[in-house]
Structure 1
């Protein structure tokens, strides 16, 4: 299948998948290679505090990641990029890049994506299931409990038919922990 080089796609791997916040003309599941979805971003505001950071998703090196690709109309491209920069680049923990993704219909297309900056102070590194669960279980921020974020993410992934075994293991480990007081 040929790709129209004027097509503009955006790849989402977290909340962008179910809450893109912009107009699109098509969407379908897609896979990015060389990156994986990971709870690797310390959240100092929305799901934690500077004293007790939570964890939110980042697209980190290694493996592959199933997510959602959104096709944006040419006349909407500049506005969508502006919106995404406001949404994703607040603290510059993410890097904006164009990367190839494999669409569910077999086409490879370039897509705008936001990957983690491993040199940023908010990068939490590759955590074990236990370490991630222990952090998430005790963190709260202005958008609520970090546990709610993880469980909500998993629920949305399940609705879309996307499995994330590592995130499922983190949620299971949180469920085995004693309640926080």
Structure 2
């Protein structure tokens, strides 16, 4: 079957918004998932930005690869570009991702542009929680975006300590004790 692949690491994992016939866990090397983008449209505004995920340099990112039919490529890419490139904070790249069966496929991925004014870099956890709590944009509350992503990562059994920590702050939870911790 003629197909092309798209890599999702944030809301694309739980809300791809485009027709696909295959969805598998995948790993992208050379980039990691990071709350490093000020959102001025989808989860915040220019006056009160939210904070959303980007693929930033270094490490690796576990996410989901979607296969779409080549016949749908033009419509899918138009949709993705309208969604992901609205302010041009991401660069659209085709990168090799390793699927859960061990094979590698080229996949469209959206990588943060460090030179863009919306690139936030590394944000302190308390400040990130404040931005997320206050962010609301065209696609809804920033808090919902982060918590939906964390919940989906848990379902996929993908660990992300930074997002888990932020989710605890947003839910006002205490960290779970580790085995052996105690009085």
- Which of 65, 68, 73 is the matching residue for 2:64? 68
Moved over 4 A (4+): none
- The equivalent residue for 2:181 is none
Q: CA RMSD in A?
A: 1.9
- Is 1:37 the counterpart of 2:43? The answer is no
| Aligned residue runs from structure 1 range 7-156, under 5 A | 7-156=3-152
* Unpaired stretches in structure 2, ≥5 consecutive residues: 174-183
- The equivalent residue for 1:164 is 160
Q: Retained in 1: the 8 A contact 2:14–2:149?
A: no
Counterpart of 1:137 in 2: which secondary structure?
Answer: helix
Cα distance per residue 1:74-106 (max 9 Å; x no partner): 212222112211111111111000001110000
Moved more, 43-52 or 84-93: 43-52
Post-superposition offset of 1:7: 4.2
Post-superposition offset of 1:173: 2.7
Cα distance per residue 1:4-53 (max 9 Å; x no partner): 9x641110111111211112221100001111111111112332222221
Post-superposition offset of 1:167: 0.5
Post-superposition offset of 1:142: 4.1
Seen in structure 2, the aligned counterparts of structure 1 residues 130 and 14 have a Cα distance that, compared at 3 Å, is: same
* Unpaired stretches in structure 1, ≥5 consecutive residues: none
Q: How many residues align?
A: 173
Post-superposition offset of 1:176: 4.0
Distance 2:135 2:20 in 1: 34
TM-score (norm 2): 0.85
Moved more, 86-95 or 150-159: 150-159
